Amino acid sequence: MRALAVDIGGTHVCCGAVDGRELLELFTIEADGSGSLSSLLQPISQTLRQFRARYGERFEGIGFGFCGLVDSFAGRIVSTNHKYPDATELDLVSWAKNDFGLPLILENDSRMALLGEGHMGAAQQASDVVMMTLGTGIGTAVIMSGRLVRGKHFQAGCLGGHFTIVPGGRLCSCGARGCFEAEASTYSLPKLSAEWPGFESSQLAQVSRIDFEVLFNLAEKGDVVCRNIRERCIELWQACALSLVHAYDPELLVLGGGVMQSSFPILKAIQQHIDDSAWTPWGKVKVVAAKLGSSGALLGAVPLLEERR
């Protein structure tokens, strides 16, 4: 099957032309999550038209991933969590029909990424998989018995980053306090660091843009504050992974997201914690790195469209 694919993130939009297991072309459009989604539809349309001009008309549909809660069956974005505030009002199914004469299937971006990993990445041949993505926030998705877990209101499996780890803790973008995402993610890191005891004496105080790559590098050089923050975040990711294992009973845990590109062996630390602490009398959950990076969600368009055939 050939599919057009769109993945809407907070800082950019990826558009892809996919043929079965092959990503024919990927094009990235800069975006601003605080702006409107409707203003992005014109450049997205233009990109998809170019794909059709280059690769022919045989595309069977559009798989459309969005960084929020999505009613995949009604084709509606349900909640955006402060990104693209107009997104819940848009009729993307009609947009796809009018502009391309194609069906459009919407899905949460983390779920699309997991579908992609199952289709041709790290989760092939696995029927029960949990994916945890350490990106700007913490995204999660679940496949059980070979099917995406969605739940009655399309919230199941994708809110692992909003499990409470610190009751009464940091305020999260979702409105709750003490979510994993609020306590240990790229977006919460600058504030978390600035409030860490001894921050002023840390080299981190001289850094204009704090992210995990910077933090891990300074920790390696011996910065004590960075080491302590690193330890805390690893501990929370381990706890998140373990909670996901206990909640969804997977055979495989796939770790993705930009933070995984850093030099610190996060995967090993999480595998160790799962081995030591998971209540899995049947055996061990295998922890693996995602293989597809940012193309994962695009490659998920084919299995997403195939699911509705």
Q: Which residues bind Zn ion (CB under 5 A)?
A: 162, 172, 174, 176, 179
CB of 181 to Zn ion, least distance (A): 5
> Which residue number, 103 or 190, has a Cβ lying nearer to Zn ion?
190
Q: In the complex, what is the shortest distance from the CB of residue 167 to Zn ion, in angstroms, rounded to a whole number?
A: 13
Short-list 213, 22, 222, CA closest to 116: 22
Compute the least distance from the CB of residue 175 to Zn ion, in Å: 7
- 3-state DSSP call for residue 136? coil
Q: How many other C-beta atoms are found inside a 10 Å radius of the C-beta of residue 241?
A: 27
Token reading at 286: 């295998």
DSSP tag of 172: P
Query: The tokens 């002023």 sit on which residue?
Result: 200
Spatial CB neighbours of 276, under 8 Å, sequence gap ≥ 6: none
Q: 3-state secondary structure string, 19-35?
A: ECCEEEEEEEEECCCCC
CB nearer to Zn ion: give 177 or 232: 177
CB nearer to Zn ion: give 28 or 79: 79
Q: How far is the CB of 292 from Zn ion (least distance, A)?
A: 26
**Shortest spacing between CB 206 and Zn ion, in angstroms:** 30
- Please, what is the Cα angle at 29 between 28 and 30, to 5 degrees? 120
137 vs 250, beta carbon nearer Zn ion: 137
Nearer to Zn ion, 116 or 139 (CB): 139
